[in-house]
Amino acid sequence: MLEAKRRAAIFLLLAFILAAVTGYLVLEKVKELNAELGGMTSIYIAKGSIPSRSPIEVSQVTQMDIPNKFVTDSHILSEDEFEHQVSIVPLNPGDIITKNMIKPVSNLQDANNRLVTMYRTDKIQFDQVLTALDRVDIIVSTNNDGKKKTEVFMKDVLVAYAEGTNDNFSGIAVEVTAEEAPTLIHMQNYAEHIRVLKANVGQASSFGDSIETTDGKEEQKEEPAGEQPEGKTDESAAKEATTKTEKSSDQKSDDSGE
């Protein structure tokens, strides 16, 4: 009886030791895995259904933690990245939202307009560094059956955005109508040369328009000689006045003689 109890105690002790060793090994393995995963990071997922091409609101998304090992540059980690963004695909609740699934809200002035990019190449040249909201004139040179021609292709075209600044300037995107877009792209492909000029934001004054002087006062531009409204010069007006005076004098002489 005592021998059986002694054996049972030995088996229980061995079982406890083995369980302790197993638990220690499991704990060490878990620590090792956590070290490889590198902790947890919060990413954003869809909280509810989000239709495509509609602005994303912060209330439509929520956070979910995933191991750092699985976090990539495409994951969204901040609410600020949803500002002025739309989803290009419909999202269901729980879908992970990545950067390649969203794009900026279109800032076109008209829904029927299109953006056409124009990058600096040997064929396309820019006279100045441009920025967003500038306006440009597009000059094209063509050669049709040996007939070379340079003309203004488009005037006062809005620059939607520009790529680069100063020495890093590389091109622009212009906003044109859907009908003008194919013709502009055709010119980019087949014109011999395209020159992009920055357009003046002000209107040029014509003769007779009031202009502002350096003193802050307005003065009137004089009409150029030879362009008077009646088509008469000062010399012809003087001759006409002299003739009328002579006729009046002759008439008075005749009356006195009678």
pLDDT score recorded for residue 164: 86
Residue 100 and residue 138 in one domain: no
Q: Which domain holds residue 159?
A: 113-198
Indicate the residue among 198, 221, 246 that finishes a domain. 198
| Greater pLDDT, 9 or 208 | 9
Is residue 216 assigned to a domain? no
Residue 117 and residue 192 in one domain: yes
Please state the φ and ψ torsions of residue 215, each to the nearest 5 degrees: -85, 0
Residue 98 and residue 167 in one domain: no
Q: What is the CATH number of the domain that holds 54?
A: 3.90.1210.10
Per-residue pLDDT reduced to its tens digit, 145-204: 889 999 999 999 999 888 888 888 999 999 999 999 999 999 999 999 999 999 876 444
Indicate the residue among 149, 171, 198 that finishes a domain. 198
Do residues 195 and 201 lie in contact, with contact meaning Cβ atoms separated by under 8 Å? no
pLDDT score recorded for residue 240: 58
Is residue 47 assigned to a domain? yes
Per-residue pLDDT reduced to its tens digit, 61-105: 999 998 888 889 999 999 888 888 888 889 999 999 999 888 887
Is residue 227 assigned to a domain? no
Is residue 211 assigned to a domain? no
Q: Total domain count for the chain?
A: 2
Is residue 62 assigned to a domain? yes
Is residue 153 assigned to a domain? yes
Question: Is pLDDT above 70 for 29?
Answer: yes
Question: In this structure, which long-range contacts are made by residues 43-48, counting pairs with CB atoms below 8 Å and at least 24 apart in sequence?
Answer: 43/71, 43/75, 43/76, 43/77, 43/96, 44/75, 44/76, 44/77, 44/79, 44/82, 44/96, 44/97, 45/94, 45/95, 45/96, 45/97, 46/91, 46/92, 46/93, 46/94, 46/95, 46/97, 47/93, 48/93
Indicate the residue among 48, 69, 104 that finishes a domain. 104
Is residue 5 assigned to a domain? no
* pTM (2 d.p.): 0.46
